[in-house]
Amino acid sequence: MIYMNFYFFQTLICVVTLLMIILCCLNTTLFMKKLWNTTQNKYDFLATFLISSVVFLIGYGCMIISDHYSVDSFNLVYDMGPYWQMQIGRYVNCGVILLAEQMGINQVIMQRFFMVIWIVTSVIMNVMITVGIAKQMKVKRSGFYLLILATSLSFVNVFAMDLMLFSEMAMVLIPGKLALGLAVQVVLCEEKEWKKWLLCVIYLIISIGSYQSYIGIFEVYVLLGIYLKWKDSPKTRWSNSFGVLGVGGVVSIFNIVLVKILVHFGMIADSGRGATFKISKILCNIKGVLDYQVSFWKNADGILMPYVMPVLGILLLYIIVLELRKANLEKKLFLIFLILGCYLLGFAPHMLEGNQLLSPRSNIAVWSVIAAILVLAISHIEKIFNIFGKVIAVALCLLIGINCLVMQDMAANEQSMNAIDIMEAKQIGERILEYENETGNTITKVAARGDLNPTYYQPNSRYKNWELGARIMSTYYSNYRLIGYTLNKNLERKDMSDEIYEKYFAGKDWNCLNVEEQTILINDTLYLVIY
């Protein structure tokens, strides 16, 4: 009976996910067709598509050229972990993985193919957002080109690269990306109120079911669009704004409650990363978010070179002050509400986390706030050749350029660190083959523990931030998978007993791999100590 219930649950997920994908693809196609047929100047449409394509290819093209592996990747080669995605509230990702499994598709092995699709999807999404924002403001052609660059910044930045270096994410994020673009577009451009809000809810359910941080990006661009379209009445303006916040809140609550219901009925396990409503924990999380601001505005959490973020912060404050000086009281209040509200929303998921994880990739929405402030400046550019226009154009190009350069370096660094891990795994694999040939035994299990001072980050890595620069061989749920991958066999993980550790490895500390000293093979098990 339990098996039948679970089978039904799995089938339901697959069917619903397939319907979501069809809905997103169909409506995206209809939107692009409508846009092409109704755009008075098709040159602007093509420019949006081409400029977005160039920016995304510069940022992420390296991910197509070569394979990259995260600390999770090799584990996912053997077990794609669909229900782990469900446990952390990414139900769309769960469905996508289940469908892929049915078709014999692996997200890691086929990462380059899906990266191409992800880039195309991202470009289309950026077209949707750019067109939606452009309709809310009067912008000249030069300003329009800058607008394309500004919206691209939301997704072409070092925090987004931190996410995409998890190469397994490309496949699962595709529906969420399309849904995000559609959600922004429908709220800003749909005339029928009931249709606007209904579709918005559906698209947001899909979007945050792919990646929860997308909710912050949605709120930023929709509230920005409402601000730019100031001709609406105050009642309409504020009601739409609170409506957007309300929809976002409802969908976020739906995400949290769905996971808790599934955990309660035993359909999925508790990940330990779910939302908490304990006041003491929330206050602790708020303090963590406040402390994080120093790290972010110093050097983008250790990723960007010094002075980039402080200089950017000064420019953004200057733009905000200029905007406030030009605005009446209501517009001032709305602008403060827009910037502070959206900035806080970018960190809102972290304030409710049961186990706070302030990784760069989880804070990508903050870059949309930066992009939105730059859009405010662009909206006031009368001529590209005046001093203000030149400053904004140069700043925007430099910001994207610096991000792209560092993104390339992040990818190259990760690939170099991957090579070290793979080399070490191959050396251990050769030791296994020698043992199997000499003894006739077959190694099927790996038991790994650390030495006195195990090294989590690769010593030569230029980035040592969360999983950036982390050693796959130091990751216990992946190192045995990597060794198995080099041998083309599915190895099992096993705990190393204290008896074995004390007998062979106790009190020892290595600084590099010494296969002879750090491996012991007994019967069907490799005992490995990590330096």
Tens of pLDDT, residues 326-384: 888 888 898 998 898 889 888 887 887 777 788 899 899 999 999 999 999 998 876 55
Q: Which two tokens stand for residue 424?
A: 């070490």
Least confident of 114-128, 241-255, 406-420: 241-255
pLDDT at 1: 40
DSSP state of 360: G
Instruction: Write the DSSP string, 136-148.
Output: TS---HHHHHHHH
pLDDT at 171: 95
Contact 441, 435 (CB under 8 A): yes
Instruction: Write the DSSP string, 35-74.
Output: HHHH-S-HHHHHHHHHHHHHHHHHHHTHHHHS----TTHH
Q: What is the CA radius of gyration of the chain?
A: 25
Q: How many Å apart are CA 81 and CA 83, to the nearest integer? A: 6
Share of the chain above pLDDT 70, in %: 97
Mean pLDDT for 190-204 is: 89
* Segment holding 493, helix H or strand E: strand 492-494
Give how far Cα 418 sits from Cα of 68, 71, 163, 468, Å: 7, 9, 16, 11
Give the length of the chain.
Answer: 531
Backbone angles phi, psi at 498, to 5 degrees: -60, -35
pLDDT of 43 strictly over 60? yes
pLDDT at 2: 46
pLDDT at 274: 67
In 3D space, the residue among 381, 400, 398, 397 whose CA is nearest the CA of residue 389 turns out to be 381
Can you give the residue ranges of every domain in the chain? Answer: 2-269, 412-530
Least confident of 38-52, 89-103, 123-137: 38-52
Q: Which two tokens stand for residue 370?
A: 């930066």
Mean pLDDT for 276-302 is: 87
In 3D space, the residue among 161, 146, 60, 117 whose CA is nearest the CA of residue 367 turns out to be 161
CA atoms within 13 A on the CB side of 250: 14
Contact 225, 132 (CB under 8 A): yes
Mean pLDDT for 124-148 is: 87
Q: Sorting pLDDT into bands at 50, 70 and 90, what band is 152?
A: very high
What's the pTM? 0.90
